[in-house]
Amino acid sequence: MEEKIGGMVLHRRRGVEFLTFPALEVPFARHAFSTRAGGVSRGPFASMNLAFGRGDPDENVRENYRRFCAAAGLEASSLVSAAQNHHAFVRRVGPADRGAGIFEPQRMKSVDGLVTDSPGVTLVIHTADCVPVFLIDPERRAVGLAHAGWRGTAARIGAAAVAAMAREFGTRPGALLAGIGPSIGPCCFEVDRPVRDVFAGLTDLDPKGFIRDDGGGKYHIDLWEANRRILMRAGVPESSIAVAGICTRCHADRLFSHRASGGRRGGLAAFLGIGEGAQA
């Protein structure tokens, strides 16, 4: 069963719900974004919690990964998880990294972006209001996935991921397909003056387009638009960037949101990988 939500499609398979971008459907790659539905976790983690270290038993989380992958057509053993710390470091990974951070110990530190051109490797990043940025290079058959919280967005992790793909695989930014996934939207991301000032400093991006002054020292930031402009500045064509337009806080019944839950919650995950049979 499928249902259109914003710029994505909601799929229901084996009791699991997940989202995909129609604009990112290419033969060699597979991607998905999780929802809360279809897992074994309970309480504030109900039910498809994909975040470790939040109070949910690890085996519940691993079983959720198994169920999610079976529904989304991903190989659970292919997963490689980022070690996120709200920075803009991007790392290339390959077959030797399979399982890291999920079924094997995490071997990375402070890595918020992953890139690969290896068949049989699926990149994973974790969110609960932060922006997942998907990148696919149809020419070089390479992919990248970035975790863009407000700090990562301001540090231009999307551009860092584009640069990493260019460096590692010879990617032409103009050939990339990009997706800006579900996250806290401009409707709900309210900040104080210090955060506003960080974004106001992105002068080459014309920050008036993603900062709204609400008065009284309060502002709303549009992380979707900021990341879209960052990708365009890095050379990704505007017409090749899909924006989900799905706010995690507004859809907290379906998606985990840190702000909506006050921090007592499970976690979402974005997946992007290259199939075993694909030629790098």
**pLDDT mean over 245-262:** 98
Both tokens of 248, joined, read 């995690």
**Alpha carbon distance 173, 232 (integer Å):** 9
Q: Where are the domains of the chain?
A: 2-274
Task: Find out whether 33 and 8 touch, Cβ atoms under 8 Å.
Answer: yes
In angstroms, what CA-CA distances link 33 with 50, 183, 198?
A: 11, 11, 29
pLDDT band per the 50, 70, 90 thresholds, residue 278: low
**pLDDT mean over 2-6:** 96
**pLDDT mean over 103-117:** 93
Both tokens of 131, joined, read 């922006």
Question: According to the model, what pLDDT value does residue 182 have?
Answer: 99
pLDDT band per the 50, 70, 90 thresholds, residue 280: very low
Q: Out of 3.40.50.300, 3.60.140.10, 3.30.310.10, 3.40.630.30, which CATH number does the structure's domain 2-274 have?
A: 3.60.140.10
Q: What is the pLDDT of residues 31-49, one digit of tens each?
A: 999 999 999 999 999 999 9
Please indicate, yes or no, whether the overall pTM of this predicted structure exceeds 0.95: yes
Q: What is the pLDDT of residues 159-216, one digit of tens each?
A: 999 999 999 999 999 999 999 999 999 999 999 999 999 999 999 999 999 999 999 9
Whether the pLDDT of residue 277 is over 90: the answer is: no
In our burial notation (b when 16+ CB lie closer than 10 A, e otherwise), range 129-144 reads bbbbbbbbbeebbbbb
**pLDDT mean over 91-105:** 96
Task: Find out whether 144 and 163 touch, Cβ atoms under 8 Å.
Answer: no
**Alpha carbon distance 217, 215 (integer Å):** 5
Say what percent of the chain tops pLDDT 70. 99
pLDDT band per the 50, 70, 90 thresholds, residue 276: confident
